[in-house]
Amino acid sequence: MAEEVSTLMKATVLMRQPGRVQKIMGALRKGGGDRLQISPYGHAASSNWTEGAPHQYLGPYPPQASDSPVISDFDMTLSRFAYNGKRCPSSYNILDNSKIISEECRKELTALLHHYYPIEIDPHRTIKEKLPHMVEWWTKAHNLLCQQKIQKFQIAQVVTESNAMLREGYKTFFNTLYRNNIPLFIFSAGIGDILEEIIRQMKVFHPNIHIVSNYMDFNEDGFLQGFKGQLIHTYNKNSSVCENSGYFQQLEGKSNVILLGDSIGDLTMADGVPGVQNILKIGFLNDKVEERRERYMDSYDIVLEKDETLDVVNGLLQHILCQGDQLEMQGP
């Protein structure tokens, strides 16, 4: 398997059951060889987006679209965790650290982070024990943000002035999925407006992308007044928050799924998708690696330890699509 997919030879790759990975990859590859000749989408990325919560893309996928969609987290999965030894911002951090947030609010948000983040990643607590704490954290943070008189037009500038970074190899990842009509479902507990703007500014916001996230709700004067729909946090990323979106309708009939995440909570992102037979779960282990390594290896098929690139994912896509060396690597 590793010989066939050279990126699995990277030192950052951990696999508990290589045989299981090989079996799933075989199924994904079998379903992927006949879609290489499908032409890309022909309409603008924004033309079929509608206001709603969770936010959803309503444009139909072509009837010959891939049988192997990608379901991915965003913060610290598609975006970087660190660069040159320094932590990169999440979609919330981008807003927290911006000029439009008061110093007092920033201190309160930082205090919330220091209190709740250790709970979020605590390997000794069950998800059930963590749930009320996550709801408290997100709710308190949202309430603080709503007091800041944030205006809709400010979002693009905030992203432009931030240190937001996607993982190395992101152009190849996004463009490969788009050109092969592979749907990319981003399921994020972050701020949808921010992450969508990041992808737009990186010029890879293609119409095969469907986002479910916490989207801001602005009043008639353009000021933030709340967040749309049900709160999405780290540990409720499943069908319970997607009942009113097109998320699972779009996934219906997809027998193979590639799942990308960086937390144990991301493992449920495909829960509720009808008819799924094979799921390849790839997890980015970014932080507290020693104490969390075993749990991740038990939960994910492939674990990428302190790997700030999408090299392995791109290599696997190349293998599944039977493209050999033809996959164009578009750095960074």
Residues labelled as active-site residues: 73, 75
Query: What angle, rounded to 10 degrees, do the helices at 311-320 and 18-32 form?
Result: 50
> Of all residues in the chain, what percent are helix, strand and coil, respectively (each to 5)?
40, 15, 45
Cβ pair 58, 50 in contact under 8 A: yes
- The set of residues, in sequence order, having a beta carbon less than 8 Å from that of 76 and lying 6+ positions away, is 88, 90, 262, 284, 286
- Which DSSP letter does residue 203 get? T
Rounded CA gap, 70 and 209, in Å? Answer: 10
Alpha-carbon span 28 to 316, nearest angstrom: 10
Q: Which helix (DSSP H) or strand (DSSP E) does residue 156 occupy?
A: helix 154-160
**What is the largest distance, in Å, between two alpha-carbon atoms of the chain?**
58
Residue type for position 193: D
